[in-house]
Amino acid sequence: MARSWELGMQTFDQALFDLYNQRIISYEEALRNADSSNELRLQIKLKSSRINPVLQAENAQISLLEQSRSRALSTD
């Protein structure tokens, strides 16, 4: 079903992704209503043209953690 998008068929999560990308619904609302929130979260992270503040905050925390680990390893 996920591959049939070109033929006009789509999953509920794909429809939520489209609504999110068009700024009709929020990130939180899309995930709350998704059949598979993990799949939708991944699709948004990889394919969305919309900048998401929640994902930006998560990425910033990951970057800070990686930087602190790198510094800790270089001082050992």
> What is the reported pLDDT for 47?
87
- The pLDDT tens digits for 15-74 are 999 999 999 999 999 999 999 999 999 999 888 887 766 666 666 666 656 666 666 666
CA 5 – CA 13 distance, rounded (Å):
12
- 19: tokens are 């609504």
- 42: tokens are 């991944």
19 touches 25 (CB < 8 A): yes
> What is the reported pLDDT for 75?
64
Listed in sequence order, the residues at least 6 apart from 70 whose beta carbon sits closer than 8 Å to its beta carbon are none
> What is the reported pLDDT for 27?
92
> What is the reported pLDDT for 23?
93
> What is the reported pLDDT for 26?
92
